[in-house]
């Protein structure tokens, strides 16, 4: 047998029980020969055969022996778009849906349930997506590298060419199995060859890719270079209000859609970290986004415009400028003017995917604009897929956050799903953590974040634990006790990482550029707007009404809560306040003692994670076990380094000793 070149992650089925009767398929209202339905049946066949050993018989071709059960796929209007109703019985399984995606998701629901221990006749679920758009954003470059990639190289690009192979199809299967319906394949920093993705050079391959995706219910999106008229059009401006520029885009978008009718639209990073944008011409972000929105509208396309706009050439001496404010300051004013096929994509926090940040005040701060939540499962600041960090609890906190933007339906989940404003476009996007490593995600356990993001974006009511348990059951099929151990490891991991890294919401303190490992002052005197402002008396950034006024960007209830150190949630204390080391926290500990304790605890708890992993040795496939074990070895080094650098730094600044007399350098 040929050696597997890559794992099948949670779609690697093993026999769960022995089924007694083969299946046949009956379609009612759906055409058999469409690619999505064919793929759905393929997935059912593969899943049910590998999980239960029964076959799916083609009654027209195969000889039928004995009785058959029926997989009956029925079209009905009583299920919402992309939703499904599945029900097992002694006669077989019924899947009801109003569209093809719903069928596909229904089939994957059946497989998930069986893989999690149900028998085919017990299968039962009714579900429809919480979010209209559930997207993955790849930061893959066309030379094959991945910006912030920790799992090898790109499986979409190599040497400026687009790769299409069996892995592409497996990728589409994974995404469909967790309900993803849109994928941006290239980095938001669009440079070099990537600027030419919207030219004839790449249309053939993009067309094939869009079809492979489309057959699994996924729409292809591209990141776009706002300066395309200059870079590939030979013009000397990309001013979004310039007639010639608009004409250029009209011709370009027509050319693109003639060749790529399935394209979902574009993701745009403009005026951010050196990327061109409308500000160069004195125009607003809305001017830029709306121009593209108008041009793409006739083709049913959408423009997803990122709000990650801030001054990245700040003077660290200037305590008035606050990077956290930037998104709101740049985008709030034009609320209500963004066109209806434009979506603003907003990072979960106001800074940049730190282990702890408040929720961005733009989410729900905008009341008349399509919004999409952007999170990062690529572990840029959360351990590079070396350290274990299950991020679903973090995403849940964001989704459950009450913005107070409306008397009801005011959580972030409400806002981005469209429930608050009744809008049709919105959803969730994740910067993805995949690459061409054998296990796709570098750390095998990081696949829980990939799986989890998809499941959560499909159903924002699912709990972190439920998602973790599903992923474990599908991936490893452990006995109950061991499944509990792994589940507990995942659920503890975010807090552990938080404990040994930067304290109480202050963020950063990472090695500049790579963003792995500690460097407490690494970004303190830089241009990036990422400061902790520690001195010999205290630490933290005053973002209250007496400081930068960031807290006042929230609606009143939240603004008041954050403004006062007495009511500010402790885990965010240093994000909002400059606090003396001697300040007594609600726990009764001083701030400095909290820093020492949490860092000692975090390192110890990381060691416990590694011990727990060792206890699973004989139950996890050997290569996977060893791969993860190596990661834990590295994580322990990292945790120790963080602990000692952070503790020593604050001991040296404050001169205050650890009450417990532990070693600090």
Residue numbers annotated as active site: 273, 352, 380
Q: Give the DSSP per-residue string, 143-174.
A: TS-BTT--SSS-SSEETTEE--SHHHHHHHHH
Residue nearest to ligand GCW (CB): 352
Q: Least distance in Å: CB of 220 to ligand GCW?
A: 19
Q: Which residue has the tokens 């440079």?
A: 191
Work out which of 75, 118, 119, 148 binds ligand GCW, going by CB under 6 A: 148
Q: Which residue has the tokens 């709000």?
A: 307
Query: Which DSSP symbol is given to 653?
Result: H
Q: Least distance in Å: CB of 358 to ligand GCW?
A: 17
Q: Report the distance separating Cα 386 and Cα 446, nearest Å.
A: 9
Query: Which DSSP symbol is given to 268?
Result: E
Size of the site for ligand GCW (CB under 6 A): 10
371-376 and 133-137 beta bridge pairing: unpaired
**Per-position x/- string for 408-447, each x denoting binding to ligand GCW as judged by CB under 6 A, each - no binding:** ----------------------------------------
User: Which residues, in sequence order, are CB contacts of 503 under 8 Å at separation 6+?
Assistant: 574, 594, 595, 598, 599, 646
Q: Least distance in Å: CB of 526 to ligand GCW?
A: 13
Quick check: helix, strand or coil at residue 245? Answer: helix
Task: Please list the residues that pair with 523 across neighbouring strands.
Answer: none
Task: Please list the residues that pair with 306 across neighbouring strands.
Answer: 345
Residues comprising the chain, all counted: 665
Contact 575, 533 (CB under 8 A): no
Closest CB to ligand GCW among residues 353, 476: 353
Closest CB to ligand GCW among residues 30, 381: 381
Q: Which residue has the tokens 């779609």?
A: 11
Q: Least distance in Å: CB of 139 to ligand GCW?
A: 5
Q: Least distance in Å: CB of 606 to ligand GCW?
A: 24
Work out which of 352, 410, 482, 498 binds ligand GCW, going by CB under 6 A: 352
Q: Least distance in Å: CB of 193 to ligand GCW?
A: 17
Task: Please list the residues that pair with 161 across neighbouring strands.
Answer: 158
Q: Give the DSSP per-residue string, 16-79.
A: -S--SS-EEEEEESS-TTSHHHHHHHHHHHHHHHHHH---EE-TTTSPP-S--EEEEEEE-TTS
Q: Least distance in Å: CB of 656 to ligand GCW?
A: 33
Closest CB to ligand GCW among residues 382, 654: 382
Closest CB to ligand GCW among residues 272, 563: 272
Q: Least distance in Å: CB of 136 to ligand GCW?
A: 14
Q: Give the DSSP per-residue string, 405-424.
A: SSSSS-BHHHHHHTTTTT-S
Work out which of 147, 158, 170, 397 binds ligand GCW, going by CB under 6 A: 147
Work out which of 13, 23, 108, 139 binds ligand GCW, going by CB under 6 A: 139
Closest CB to ligand GCW among residues 274, 336: 274
Closest CB to ligand GCW among residues 129, 288: 288
Q: Which helix (H) or strand (E) holds 612?
A: helix 591-614
Query: Which DSSP symbol is given to 426?
Result: -
Instruction: Identify the CA nearest to 136 among candidates 203, 71, 216.
Output: 216
Closest CB to ligand GCW among residues 145, 406: 145
Task: Please list the residues that pair with 93 across neighbouring strands.
Answer: 71, 88
Q: Least distance in Å: CB of 583 to ligand GCW?
A: 31
Closest CB to ligand GCW among residues 58, 273: 273
Closest CB to ligand GCW among residues 428, 592: 428
The answer to the question of residue 269 lying near ligand GCW (CB under 6 A) is yes
Query: Which DSSP symbol is given to 262?
Result: T
Q: Report the distance separating Cα 211 and Cα 204, nearest Å.
A: 11
Which parts of 184-243 interact with ligand GCW (CB under 6 A)?
187-189
Closest CB to ligand GCW among residues 56, 135: 135
User: Which residues, in sequence order, are CB contacts of 531 under 8 Å at separation 6+?
Assistant: 316, 508, 523, 524, 541
Q: Least distance in Å: CB of 381 to ligand GCW?
A: 8
Q: Which of the stretches 90-98, 181-189, 317-325, 386-394 binds ligand GCW when contact is defined by CB under 6 A?
A: 181-189
Q: Least distance in Å: CB of 370 to ligand GCW?
A: 19
Closest CB to ligand GCW among residues 514, 615: 514
Contact 360, 421 (CB under 8 A): no
Q: Which of the stretches 151-159, 182-190, 194-202, 221-229 binds ligand GCW when contact is defined by CB under 6 A?
A: 182-190
Which parts of 277-336 interact with ligand GCW (CB under 6 A)?
308
Angle formed at CA 644 by CA 640 and CA 650, multiple of 5 degrees: 150
473-478 long-range CB contacts below 8 Å, 24 or more apart? 473/115, 473/116, 473/117, 474/10, 474/11, 474/112, 474/115, 474/116, 475/9, 475/10, 475/12, 475/447, 476/619, 476/620, 477/14, 477/16, 477/115, 478/616, 478/619, 478/620
Binding residues for ligand GCW (CB under 6 A): 139, 147-148, 187-189, 269, 273, 308, 352
């Amino acid at each position: 047998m040929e050696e597997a070149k890559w794992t099948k992650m949670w779609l690697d089925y093993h026999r769960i029980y022995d089924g007694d009767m083969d299946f046949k398929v009956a379609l009612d209202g759906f055409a058999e020969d469409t690619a999505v339905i064919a793929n759905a049946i393929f997935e059912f066949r593969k899943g049910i055969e590998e999980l239960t050993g029964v076959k799916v018989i083609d009654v027209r071709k195969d000889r039928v022996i004995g009785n058959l059960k029926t997989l009956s796929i029925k079209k009905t209007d009583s299920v919402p778009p992309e939703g499904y109703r599945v029900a097992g019985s002694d006669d077989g399984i019924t899947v009801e849906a109003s569209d093809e995606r719903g069928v596909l998701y229904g089939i994957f629901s059946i497989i998930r349930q069986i893989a999690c221990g149900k028998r085919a006749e017990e299968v039962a679920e009714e579900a429809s997506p919480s979010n209209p758009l559930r997207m993955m954003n790849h930061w893959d470059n066309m030379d094959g590298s991945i910006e912030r990639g920790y799992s090898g190289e790109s499986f979409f690009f190599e040497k400026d060419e687009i790769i299409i192979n069996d892995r592409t199809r497996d990728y589409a299967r994974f995404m469909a199995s967790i309900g993803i319906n849109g994928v941006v394949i290239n980095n938001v920093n669009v440079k070099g060859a990537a600027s030419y993705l919207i030219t004839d050079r790449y249309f053939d391959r993009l067309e094939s890719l869009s079809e492979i995706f489309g057959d699994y219910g996924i729409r292809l999106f591209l990141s776009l270079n706002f300066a395309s008229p200059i870079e590939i059009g030979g013009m000397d401006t990309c001013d979004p209000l310039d007639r010639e520029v608009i004409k250029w885009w009209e011709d370009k978008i027509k050319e693109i859609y003639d060749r790529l009718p399935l394209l979902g639209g574009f993701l745009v990073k403009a005026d951010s970290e050196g990327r061109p944008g409308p500000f160069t011409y004195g125009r607003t972000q809305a001017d830029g986004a709306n121009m593209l929105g108008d041009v793409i509208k006739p083709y049913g396309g959408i423009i997803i415009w990122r709000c990650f706009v801030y001054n990245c050439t700040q003077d660290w001496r200037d305590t008035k400028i606050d990077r956290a404010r930037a998104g709101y300051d740049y985008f709030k004013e034009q609320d209500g003017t963004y066109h209806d096929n434009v979506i603003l994509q907003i990072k979960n926090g106001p800074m940049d995917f730190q282990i702890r940040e408040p929720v961005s005040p733009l989410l729900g701060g905008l009341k008349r604009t399509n919004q999409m939540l952007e999170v990062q499962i690529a572990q840029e600041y959360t351990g590079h897929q070396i350290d274990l960090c299950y991020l679903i609890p973090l995403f849940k906190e964001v989704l459950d956050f009450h913005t107070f933007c409306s008397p009801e339906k005011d959580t972030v989940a409400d806002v981005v799903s469209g429930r608050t404003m009744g809008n049709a476009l919105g959803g969730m996007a994740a910067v993805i953590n995949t690459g061409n490593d054998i296990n796709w995600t570098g750390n095998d356990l990081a696949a829980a974040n990939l799986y989890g993001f998809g499941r959560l974006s499909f159903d924002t009511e699912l709990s972190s634990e439920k998602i973790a348990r599903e992923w474990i059951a599908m991936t490893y099929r452990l006995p109950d006790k061991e499944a509990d151990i792994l589940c507990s490891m995942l659920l503890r991991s975010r807090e552990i990482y938080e404990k040994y890294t930067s304290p109480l919401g202050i963020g950063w303190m990472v090695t500049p550029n790579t963003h792995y490992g500690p460097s407490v002052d690494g970004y303190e005197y830089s241009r990036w707007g990422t400061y902790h402002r520690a001195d010999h008396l205290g630490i933290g950034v005053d973002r209250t009404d007496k400081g930068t006024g960031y807290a006042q960007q929230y609606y009143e209830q939240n603004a008041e809560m954050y403004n006062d150190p007495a009511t500010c949630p402790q885990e965010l204390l240093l994000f909002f306040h400059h606090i003396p080391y001697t300040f007594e926290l609600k726990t009764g500990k001083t701030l400095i003692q909290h820093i020492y304790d949490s860092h000692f605890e975090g390192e110890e708890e990381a060691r416990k994670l590694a011990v727990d992993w060792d206890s699973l040795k004989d139950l996890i496939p050997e290569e996977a076990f060893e791969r993860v074990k190596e990661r834990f070895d590295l994580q322990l080094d990292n945790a120790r380094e963080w602990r000692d650098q952070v503790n020593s730094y604050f001991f040296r600044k404050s001169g205050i000793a650890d009450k417990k007399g532990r070693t600090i350098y």
